[in-house]
């Protein structure tokens, strides 16, 4: 059995009942269940639709995300999340680079690395090298003035944790940022790279080994083994090429506002919804949300 979920951006709430009903009828689905009026609905399916990709494209044109997932085991026991452009709206290294006066150059490297065009480790070392001589105090300034949380993150964490789930933040960014973001959102654990500092200045080097694509998969393996869980118990979310390992390994991998090359390799693609979409695809209705 499968479940089809349709959802839209929470600020537009443009999910039309007519769309849900027409799709349910076309696919021979069960009764529609509204998880949140005008924003998210689901219905049961006996088989995976053969024309899913075609219908998905039509829904995208209407500003609607469409996801079809196995019904069994939808509610996951662990959340494994990327940070930059996933739990926060920015790329922390790009914000630091702006303060260092090399923003445009670093943003270009970041975009190419996240799209899978560059080796992640080499791209990270190159970008960190351009931050050499930046005062360490700038990190706190960027956190206070430039970093904003992705919509729905606090609700996602609070709701899953209330149901007993474990939450881990695993980033190719930096511990100086993950520590604060993890504490603010309620993550149980966070892993990231370390910016090296000497005499109050960034040295232009990053601590080794670099936490990249494989390290996120390692985190999934380490944490599930420690907690007695399996890959199937995990919902992972990210947007960049370095997230693909954990996204394809987890029981449910969510490409959130992801780079095209990343989204193309993921079954669950969220382009309009915020982080509460991860609750809807697990079958949570809005009245079950913990804010």
For residue 30, what are the CA distances in angstroms to 40, 119, 246, 288?
16, 46, 32, 22
Q: Are 263 and 269 in contact (CB under 8 A)?
A: yes
Handedness of CA 289, 155, 160, 212 (dihedral sign): positive
Please, which residues bridge with residue 166 across strands? 78
How confident is the model at residue 6, as a pLDDT? Answer: 98
82 catalytically annotated: yes
Q: What does the pLDDT read at residue 147?
A: 97
> Is the pLDDT assigned to residue 267 strictly greater than 90?
no
pLDDT at 261 over 90: no
The mean pLDDT of 78-107, rounded to a whole number, is 96
Question: What gap in Å lies between CA 21 and CA 87, rounded to an integer?
Answer: 33
Catalytic residue among 31, 53, 84, 243: 84
Q: Which two tokens stand for residue 188?
A: 């149980």
pLDDT at 275 over 90: yes
Burial of 22 (0-12, 13-18, 19+ CB in 10 A): exposed
pLDDT band at 129; cut points 50, 70, 90 = very high
In the Cβ-directed half-sphere of 132, how many Cα atoms lie within 13 Å? 7
Q: Which of 31, 53, 82, 267 is catalytic?
A: 82
**pTM assigned to the model:** 0.96
The CA radius of gyration of the chain, in Å to the nearest whole number, is 20
Averaged pLDDT for residues 214-239: 97
Q: Report all structural domains of the chain as residue ranges with CATH numbers, in order of start.
A: 1-72 (3.30.70.260), 79-220 (3.40.50.1000)
- Indicate left, alpha or beta for 73 from its phi (over 0: left) and psi (-120 to 50: alpha): left
* Dihedral pair phi/psi, residue 202, rounded to 5°: -70, 135
pLDDT of residue 168: 98
> Which range among 78-92, 106-120, 135-149 shows the weakest confidence by mean pLDDT?
106-120
Phi, psi of 198, deg, nearest 5 = -140, 130
**pLDDT, position 260:** 87
Widest Cα–Cα separation across the chain:
67
SS3 state at 109: helix
The per-residue pLDDT of the chain, averaged, comes to 96
Counting residues of the chain whose pLDDT is more than 70, the rounded percentage is 100
Q: Provide the pLDDT for residue 176.
A: 95
What pLDDT, in 10s, does the model give residues 46-69? 999 999 999 999 999 999 999 999
Q: What angle do CA 257, 259, 260 make, to 5 degrees?
A: 110
5 pLDDT band, cuts 50/70/90, is very high
């Amino acid at each position: 059995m499968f479940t089809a979920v349709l959802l839209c951006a929470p600020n537009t709430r443009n999910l039309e009942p007519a769309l849900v009903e027409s799709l349910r009828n076309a696919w021979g689905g069960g009764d529609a269940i509204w998880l949140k009026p005008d924003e998210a609905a689901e219905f049961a399916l006996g088989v995976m639709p053969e024309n899913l990709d075609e219908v998905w494209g039509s829904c995208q044109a209407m500003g609607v995300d469409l996801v079809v997932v196995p019904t069994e085991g939808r509610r996951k026991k662990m959340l494994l999340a990327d940070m930059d452009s996933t739990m926060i709206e920015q790329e922390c290294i790009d914000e630091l680079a702006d303060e260092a006066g090399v923003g445009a150059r670093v943003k270009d490297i970041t975009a190419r690395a996240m799209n899978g065009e560059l080796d992640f480790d080499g791209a990270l070392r190159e970008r960190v090298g351009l931050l050499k001589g930046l005062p360490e105090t700038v990190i706190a300034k960027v956190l206070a003035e430039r970093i904003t949380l992705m919509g729905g993150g606090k609700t996602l964490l609070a709701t899953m944790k209330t149901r007993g789930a474990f939450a881990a933040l695993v980033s190719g960014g930096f511990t100086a940022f993950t520590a604060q973001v993890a504490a603010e959102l309620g993550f149980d654990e966070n892993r990231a790279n370390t910016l090296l500092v000497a005499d109050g200045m960034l040295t232009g080097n990053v601590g080794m080994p670099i936490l990249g694509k494989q390290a996120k998969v390692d985190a999934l393996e380490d944490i599930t083994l420690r907690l007695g869980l399996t890959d199937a118990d995990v919902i992972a979310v990210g947007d960049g090429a370095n997230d693909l390992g954990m996204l394809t390994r987890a029981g449910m991998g969510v490409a959130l506002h992801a780079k095209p090359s990343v989204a193309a390799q993921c079954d669950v693609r969220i382009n309009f919804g915020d982080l509460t979409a991860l609750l809807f695809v697990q079958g949570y209705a809005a009245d079950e949300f913990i804010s």
